[in-house]
Amino acid sequence: MKKATLFQKAKDKYVRCQACRHNCVIAPGSSGICGVRQNIDGELYLRVYGKAIAVHVDPIEKKPLYHFMPGSDVFSFGTIGCNFRCTFCQNWDISQAVELVRERYKKKKGETEVMIGEICDEGQDLPPEKIVEHCREQNIPVIAYTYNEPTIFAEYAGDTAKLAREHGIKNIFVTNGYESEECLEYMKDWCDAMNIDIKAFDQKFYTEICGGAKLQGVLDTVKKAYELGIFLECTTLVIPGVNDSDEELRGIAKFLADISVEIPWHVTAFYPDYKMQDKDPTSASDLERAWKIGKDAGLKYVYTGNLPEGGHDNTVCPGCGEVLVERRGMSCAGCNVKDGKCPKCGEVVPGVWN
């Protein structure tokens, strides 16, 4: 546990959290929506600081980031908790652990906070210094803050990222895009890239399926991150009969194209999980339809993912059609980008390639 940075003091020892756009006002002894940021005697503390519940070394393509150091290994970690309540979450056992405790002990507030504190303490001790030391020893060039929502442990991520940057290690956020303005300003000097989920283009989806978040808040984060110069890719999990209408997909594609046609957009396949077991998996034809909608909107780089038979995985030059990055599954089979350009026609390809 460590005192947080992103909060303001309020009257009667209440605090206002500034990590995400929920801006929770938290009473003494209580925690916000995420459960991991607790008010202790008028100060906000991060319960999961230095406590990683999930740790892996992944290919960067798994994040997914396709235009950021392709083929790189990424030290990936996350903690308990989330500021969303997505009913289809694939990492629900860690992200929704706090919510499951609250559902069980909802009539016993004091007992609930004790239980939340216990599960927050379950992760392995992994302070920033240990993470960076491991990456240096293993020549891992990137750290990803992922698996659950990294915004809720922003100070833990920030301390790790600042130290990592001193040693030439880059840092990426895989996020639901609900960072507050204050959090984005906090991140701008140490976050190199973000993959932001645009889960739908309908407020009802965010209200009923994600637990009350605001779509506009996510869209504002995408715009702000782009303005701050953080390298950006976006992902939409395409759920049959839920967020997959042509109108909704066109809305997302147009929104991105209006910011920049060079923002890569990943449309990925859904599989039933957690509380959403009544929907079919996404078909290859539905992803192909989403891909075409993205291209018709003018987006230069649209990718399909999460299907075993593949699809639009390769990075192709929008100028001449040359295959610039070949991918097989979640790995890079070869990168042909030279000095940020297509070697055949000279088209500039946005990204970080070295």
Q: Give pLDDT tens digits for 296-348.
A: 999 999 999 998 776 899 999 999 999 999 998 888 999 999 999 999 999 99
Q: Which of 86, 110, 116 is nearest to 270 (CA)?
A: 86
Q: How far does Cα 55 stand from its chain's mean position?
A: 16
pTM for the model stands at 0.95
Question: What integer pLDDT is reported at residue 123 of this predicted model?
Answer: 86
The CATH class, in words, for 198-313 is alpha beta
Domain residue extents for the chain: 49-193, 198-313
pLDDT at residue 110, as a whole number: 66
Let me know: does 236 contact 254? Beta carbons within 8 Å.
no
Is domain 49-193 in CATH 3.20.20.70, yes or no? yes
Where residue 354 falls among pLDDT bands split at 50, 70, 90? confident
Tell me if 232 sits within 8 A of 187, measured CB to CB.
no
In degrees rounded to 5, what are phi and psi of residue 312? -95, 75
Q: In three state form, how does the secondary structure of the chain look?
A: CEECCCEEECHHHCEEECCECCCCEECCCCECCCCCEEEECCEEEECCCCEECEEEEEEHHHCCCCCECCCCEEEEEECCCCCCCCCCCCCHHHHCHHHHHHHHCCCCHHHHHHHHHHHHCCCEECCHHHHHHHHHHHCCCEEEECCCCHHHHHHHHHHHHHHHHHCCCEEEEEECCCECHHHHHHHCCCCCEEEEECCCCCHHHHHHCCCCCCHHHHHHHHHHHHHCCCEEEEEEEECCCCCCCHHHHHHHHHHHHHHCCCCCEEEEECCCECCECCCCCCCHHHHHHHHHHHHHCCCCCEEEECCCCCCCCCEECCCCCCEEEEEECCEEEEECCECCECCCCCCECCCECC
Of the CA atoms within 13 Å of residue 204, those in its CB half-sphere come to: 3
- Count how many Cα atoms sit within 13 Å of the Cα of residue 131 in the half-sphere of its side chain: 36
Q: What are phi and psi of 309, to 5 degrees?
A: -85, 5
Distance CA 153, CA 49 (A): 7
pLDDT at residue 20 is higher than 90? yes
The pLDDT of 187-199, averaged and rounded, is: 98
Q: By C-alpha distance, which of 104, 151, 154, 107 is closest to 128? A: 154
If you average pLDDT over every residue of the chain, what do you get? 95
User: What is the pLDDT at residue 307?
Assistant: 86
CA dist., res. 315 & res. 61, Å (int): 12
Residue 233 confidence (pLDDT) above 80: yes
Strand partners, 20: 179
Per-residue pLDDT averaged across 218-229, rounded?
Answer: 98
pLDDT value of residue 27: 96
pLDDT (average), residues 102-112: 73
Closest CA to 21 of 196, 181, 222, 248: 181
pLDDT digits (tens, 9 = 90+) for 245-291: 999 999 999 999 999 999 999 999 999 999 999 999 999 999 999 99
Mean pLDDT of 122-144: 96
**Residue 45 pLDDT > 80:** yes
Q: How far apart are CA 287 and CA 290, in angstroms?
A: 5
In this model, does residue 140 exceed pLDDT 80?
A: yes
Provide the pLDDT confidence category of residue 109 given band limits of 50, 70 and 90: low
pLDDT for res 288:
96
Residue 142 has pLDDT above 80, yes or no: yes
